Structure 1
């Protein structure tokens, strides 16, 4: 028990980091153990429901010696259907959020159906002009219609590198000079275009087919911005893209290194080998469902489809895995790499 606190923290982190129950038990052993365990217990916090949020925020704003505010690195707010139905889906004040000065990832999720407004604007509002989250790197906010509040919030979070928003109103422009560190954007096409201007984004994930034409038009008019993109993703279950826009977008991305799409969509571009010339990795998603025989049949079809990519330039020049097949639950099924002679794709075992 005479070991320094830093040594106990190292031991616990290497042995029990993901075992919350054991960490809770260790915290009860002694004050020394409690002090060592606290940063691990509260590095990643997820709060579901209004009542739990209320209790948690009171604790965060208290002067308790066990207050975990400075240990929180990832914080997730989950709004339930029942809370939305009550008309009071959350209880939050920016004072609690502002005390999490080492927060690196902030996420808001909601159970309501897509398209339902959660009205979370007051979570982001504050009358104190001085507070900020200087270390926040990721913001994932599943709400709509609060662009103006988010614009003000961005001024408080200069270090954001990844932004995930379901949609963004084309009539609202993010303030010039904000989010200068932004490198990755996730959302519909309108969201992507809103944040591409004036920022060095290298990774785009389109989460819906909405705005695909807008992205195509933007890349046509802004080739320098398009040339920076290294990773591009389109939703795997959307098959009805306007004819030609997907291929056109990919032609605008000369330095693309990674592409994620559905297997059906990939058939549109595999015959155009120039689209795959610089790719180091192609990730394909396939909806493999049904009975075991049906599943196996679909898998065989997918594997045959993968072999068709052997004749393309995909992954040529190295033997690292360059092709992956995932299901739509985001579980990797198979992956391939180039053979040493470069003539074929072979399964990685």
Structure 2
């Protein structure tokens, strides 16, 4: 699951993480989204029927039956109306409800209309919740956490689908809605990251296969060259899923780096194998000689890269630590792919990479005819 969660990148005692936790506990969540309900006409938000619809939505969002929505709190324009109604009745809590008639709602708004400093037709406190024409109402919805921590993109999609289905069933035909906010932006961003990741991996593999084909003039060799890098990339994503490491902008570039570095080991091995195969007729012996010559160079190169990326593990910033660990593991997987998986694939396919021997060219040097110079007289 992809989780747009930045707090775990800090240590547990970091003030940013502790402050975020306190805000979440106090306000029912530290991030949220907006549900925009359009009444279909100007001043429609002031209608008691519309406010009843808003209150029904808010009750549904926070009821125990919908605990899977992880909604900690909602705020809307109807809160102001209920507060004014209670204030007009000696602050009796039992009057914290919608007024009985539309006329009462209009009277409350006229009493409160002087607090419009920017003269846009709305009381300044109303601006986050209603449009200037009082046609659209904004229901601010705060999200809490699920059992595994901050919600991931899969959970967010499920939540939005469930809310959309409810609104489709309950809203009157003249009303419309739109769900927006930061979580929706996160979902779109993650979709771009995942889509770009798949596209870049496929393009990288195709480009490398084409390059190997041009170098070795063999389509089967081009396919074989993709095996070590594919193994390393799959191992990388499998390890991330097993350890619960989120796919983000930092971790998404590891696969591309792995392919870029892994192709060097692959071409080195294949080129050495081609020369050994030309010198030795037996396939097993050619593979053995290749491992003895190119294998050492590949191992030492990979060790140098692993030690280089290991420096990041000493960082106090968690994303750098995870990046260093994943790069070390994928470098090791790339080496195993080049020295174990690739030779096995060559032996299984019995592919021939020996260069064609050219026919010897016989050079014939004819003896020079001596030149005799005669003197006159």
Length-normalised TM-score, structure 2: 0.23
Higher helix share: 2
Which one has the largest radius of gyration? 2
Higher strand share: 1
